Chains A and B, each alone.
Chain A
Amino acid sequence: MIRKIAFNLFAWALVLAVAFPLFWMLVTSVKPQFELFRRPPTILPETWTFEHYIGLLKETNFLNYFWNSIILSTTTTLIVVAIATIGAYSLVRFKYRGRETLAFLVLFTYLLPSVVLILPLYLMLVQLGLSNTITSLVIAYTTFALPYALWLLRSFMAGIPEDLESAALVDGATRLGAFRDVILPQLLPGIISTALFTFILSWNEYLFALVLVNSDEARPLTTGVMNMLVSSFNIEWSLLMAASVMMSVPLIIVFAFLQSYLTRGFGAGGVKG
């Protein structure tokens, strides 16, 4: 019994140590600025304040960036998941020449570093007159999101028994009909997992946003919030922590309600070996 309690305490001490930075982010975001400069620092805030959240929403471009990130990540997710779903269906369930090579290519691009693609992509988007737009970021994000989604969905697709589809075909369904009526419902959890992963990847992307977008009109949260740090007139840590918390809101929602889909995605994401 004592050993059990001791082990539990030890386990939780480690878990809390890992989570401490996130706890500290929350605490800092509700401390007034003057309390931050206190020595020794207070652990829990003496005065609670939400002024940083209000300031963030009212005085900075945060909402604008937030909105851009929402549009950007949602669009990327929709496009990528749509293309990847039919692509994965084709890769897993159809036979044609070059299929194996394609699958290999998907895996290869899944591992490709963004930094190799970024300069030509940048020039290409400039040439298309798309630089500084959310569209340019959607295009850029497909470079990593599509291989990722394809890889995940391919693995989910392979897990659906072929008999189901065959049965539908025997019953006279067309392939597309069988896809819609039999495969899609079976694949739904996999699609949700993939969509969540794609959304989070896009939400967190930094490098493309840094290079491709130079205007607040299209700037997403990652570069927008980072810009607040490098300002030369003042560094307001509690404001930055409030921004960090707000930036993690979609993630917190996913964690609270859809976490099982995330862990499922892990299994499919190439780690199953």
Chain B
Amino acid sequence: MTTMLTGRRNVLKGLAATTAMTALPRAARAQETTLRWWSPQSAPLQVAAYQTQIANFEAANPGVKVVFETTSDEGYAPQLAAAFSSGEVPDIVTHLPSFAIQSYYANGLVEPFNDVIDMIGADDFFEGANDVFRAADGNYCGTGIGNSAANMLWLRKDLMEEAGIDAAPTTWDELRAAAQAMQKNGIFGAPLPYGANSMTTLIFAGVIHQAGGQIFDTDLSVALDTQETRDALEWYGAMREVCPPGATNYSWGEAITAFVSGATATGIYTGRVLGNVNAQNPSIADSVTCVRYPTKSTAIAPWTFNDFPSVFIPAQSNNIEMAKKFAASLFDPEGYIQQLHAAPGHVLPVLKSINDNPDYQNNEIIQKYPAEVELMSEAAAGGFNLGYESANHPSNEKAGEVVGSGVIAEMVQRVILNGDNVDEVIGDTAKAIEDIMKG
């Protein structure tokens, strides 16, 4: 879609001209300003925190109403596509991964965010926290509302002890052996995702890096067809023996539920595990811990997947100025800390002033698992994702489309579930990604 010289809505106009449809009245628009806020993060406590933030903002800005609406990790792409095409966009969207915004920004669908970052205080962000949001034109397309370390390896100390494992695994072989040793009495080893969904795409992109490979080279040419990708597929395939049979359809929800309910001995998720374990399955609360996900060998450094949960404002919003004001208000300590506490360790603060704020540190779960939270903060800060594979990679505007197309998850499914020829599948996948890059 590079050179679409035909004007916006041209197709629509052509259609409308053939009928008298346009004569019908358009829907009346409400008089007062209403901001629509979308987020895929909507656990009850998080929504409660959002309501505090909304109430504070509405009190300070009479005549403005903010409506929160839920989207989902697997559903936001089609929903936003429909919203953009209808022009009925939300005014602010939070917690989408950074690469999604980069794609939208490149298509002119997102408002530059520079002034909001200034309103929040550019200096207050951790060093480099906004690099991932810098677009090709030098503007920022959004900012982070938090950091997350999405592929932490969660472990059950009690089960490790029972199986005679004394150290957390650091390599693939160790992890596989540990998972095999702990797989008994109806408990499975790991809940890795093999479904046709974004979790599989994002986690497996990490596995390729953990093999020492990458999806794109530093010039953003596709670098998938490597031995590292083959190693990653081989190991990921071997791990299926220690995953529940239904892992073929797992995404985030199933993966966390499997570990929290005690059905798997290890887990792969963010810090949300801590809150869920304490609320839903307190009997294992004292036994859970986390480490960085193992790599193929100790020579390869861990690669943490941070989706850089974001805030951005769609360009078609009718209330851009108010939306910017609201976006900045999300970082006010009271509401922001409540939001972070709604899932402690899940979304980690991006502002230095918040991280150091005693109110933030004063939380039961953060204090119960200080080592884990510290480790996750550190891992997330040094984390990457498909739009930003390493510090040497430029921002990849097409990463959102690559994830949305599902080709990487499809590669996993074809090789591991269908047993298709590896070389052929990798070739097809590399070509599909190249096609997306060419647009």
A interface residues (Cβ-Cβ under 8 A, vs B): 33-34, 37, 39, 59, 61, 120, 122-124, 126-133, 135, 211, 214-217, 227, 229-235
Given the interface pairs A227-B70, A233-B276, A234-B276, the reply to whether A126 lies near B12 with Cβ below 8 Å is yes
Tell whether, in the assembled complex, residue A120 and residue B15 are in contact, meaning their CB atoms are under 8 Å apart.
Answer: yes
Partner of A215, one of B73, B74, B88, B280: B88
Q: Which residues of B contact A (CB under 8 A)?
A: 11-12, 15-16, 21-22, 24, 26-27, 36, 40-44, 67, 69-70, 72-75, 79, 82-83, 85-88, 186, 199, 251-254, 256-257, 260-263, 272, 276, 280-281, 343
- Contact across chains for B72 and A227 when beta carbons are under 8 A apart: yes
Contacting residue for B82 out of A37, A61, A130, A214, CB 8 A: A214
Q: Given A39-B186, A215-B36: A230 and B253 within 8 A (CB)?
A: yes
Complex contact A129–B67 (CB within 8 A) = no
A231 touching B72 by the CB < 8 A rule? yes
Give the 6 A-B CB pairs with smallest separation, nearest first.
A232-B252, A129-B26, A131-B86, A126-B86, A37-B261, A235-B253
A39 to B254, CA, bound (A): 18
Are A132 and B86 in contact, with the CB atoms below 8 A? yes
Contact in complex: A130, B27 (CB < 8 Å) = yes
Q: For residue B15, which residues in chain A have a CB less than 8 angstroms away from its CB?
A: 120, 123-124, 127
Residue from A131, A135, A216 in contact with B69 in the complex, judged by beta carbons closer than 8 Å: A216
| Complex CA distance for A233 and B47, rounded to whole angstroms | 13
Neighbour of A235 across the interface among B16, B87, B257, CB < 8 A: B257
Q: Which of A34, A128, A234, A235 contacts B26 (CB 8 A)?
A: A128
CA gap between A232 and B269 in the complex, in Å: 10
A-side contacts of B186, CB under 8 Å = 39
- What are 15 A-B interface contacts by the 8 Å CB criterion? A33-B280, A123-B15, A127-B16, A131-B88, A132-B86, A132-B88, A211-B82, A214-B79, A214-B83, A216-B67, A216-B69, A217-B69, A230-B253, A234-B256, A235-B253
Residues of A within 8 A of B74 (CB): 230, 232
The answer to whether A126 touches B42, judged by C-beta atoms less than 8 angstroms apart, is no
Q: Please determine whether A233 and B43 come into contact, CB atoms closer than 8 angstroms.
A: yes
A128-B27, A129-B26 known; A232-B72 Cβ under 8 A: yes
Q: Which residues of A contact B253 (CB under 8 A)?
A: 229-235
Query: Least Cβ distance of B49 to chain A in Å?
Result: 14
Q: Which residues of A contact B86 (CB under 8 A)?
A: 122, 126, 131-132, 214
Cβ contact within 8 Å between A123 and B82 = no
CB pair A126 B85 closer than 8 Å: yes
In the bound complex, what is the Cα–Cα distance between A156 and B186 (angstroms)? 58
**Residue in B21, B67, B73, B260 whose CB lies within 8 Å of A124:** B21
Contact B12 A233 (CB under 8 A): no
A61 to B68 CA separation, bound complex (whole angstroms): 11
Whether A37 and B262, one on each chain, are in contact in the complex, defined by CB atoms closer than 8 angstroms, is yes
B72 touches A233 (CB 8 A): no
| Cβ A133 vs Cβ B27 within 8 A | yes
Tell me how far the C-beta of A214 lies from the nearest C-beta in chain B, rounded to whole angstroms: 5
Assembly CA distance A222 to B65 (angstroms): 27
**Contacting pair A123 B12 (CB below 8 A):** yes
The answer, among B27, B43, B70, B272, for a CB contact under 8 Å with A216, is B70
Contact A235 B254 (CB under 8 A): yes
Q: Given B12, B36, B44, which contacts A59 in the complex, CB threshold below 8 Å?
A: B44
Whole-angstrom CA separation of A142 from B408 in the bound complex: 40
The answer to whether B69 touches A215, judged by C-beta atoms less than 8 angstroms apart, is: yes
Known: A126-B85, A217-B67, A227-B70. A233 touches B256 (CB 8 A): yes
Q: Which residues of B contact A33 (CB under 8 A)?
A: 280
How far, in Å, is B13 (CB) from chain A's closest CB?
Answer: 9
B254 contact set on A, CB distance < 8 A: 235
Contacts of A128 in B (CB 8 A): 21, 24, 26-27
Q: How far is the CA of A158 from the CA of B15 in the complex (A)?
A: 39
Identify 10 new A-B residue pairs, CB closer than 8 A, beyond the known A128-B24, A217-B69.
A39-B186, A120-B15, A126-B87, A211-B82, A214-B88, A230-B73, A233-B41, A233-B253, A234-B280, A235-B253
Closest B residue to A132 using CB positions: B88
Give the distance in Å from the alpha carbon of A130 to the alpha carbon of B86 in the complex: 9
Shortest distance in angstroms between B279's beta carbon and chain A's nearest beta carbon? 9
Shortest Cβ gap from A65 to chain B (Å): 11
Q: Which residues of A contact B16 (CB under 8 A)?
A: 127
- In the bound assembly, the distance between CA atoms of A126 and B82 in angstroms comes to 10
| Residues of A with C-beta under 8 A to B67 | 216-217
Chain B residue numbers with a CB within 8 Å of A230 are 72-75, 251, 253
Closest to A130 in B: B27
Give the CA-CA distance A59 to B44 in the complex, in Å.
7
B80's closest neighbor in chain A, by CB? A214
Name the B residues within 8 Å of A61 (CB-CB): 70
Q: Which residues of B contact A231 (CB under 8 A)?
A: 42-43, 70, 72, 253
Q: Contact check, B83 vs A233: say whether CB atoms are below 8 A apart.
A: no
Q: How far is the CA of A116 from the CA of B92 in the complex (A)?
A: 33
A residues within 8 A CB of B256?
A: 232-234
Q: A229 CA to B343 CA in the complex, in Å?
A: 19
Kindly list chain A residues whose C-beta atoms are within 8 Å of the C-beta of B262: 37
In the bound complex, residues from chain B placing their C-beta under 8 Å from that of A34 are 280-281
**A residues near B75, Cβ cutoff 8 Å:** 227, 230
Closest to B73 in A: A232
Complex contacts, B22 vs chain A, CB 8 Å = 127
Complex contacts, B27 vs chain A, CB 8 Å: 128-130, 133, 135
Question: Are A233 and B252 in contact, CB atoms less than 8 angstroms apart?
Answer: yes
Q: Give the chain B neighbours of A130 by CB distance below 8 A.
A: 27
Which of chain B's residues has its CB closest to A212's CB? B82
In the assembled complex, how far is the CB of residue B46 from the closest CB belonging to chain A, in whole angstroms? 8
A155 to B107, CA, bound (A): 53
Closest beta carbon of chain A to B190's beta carbon, Å: 18
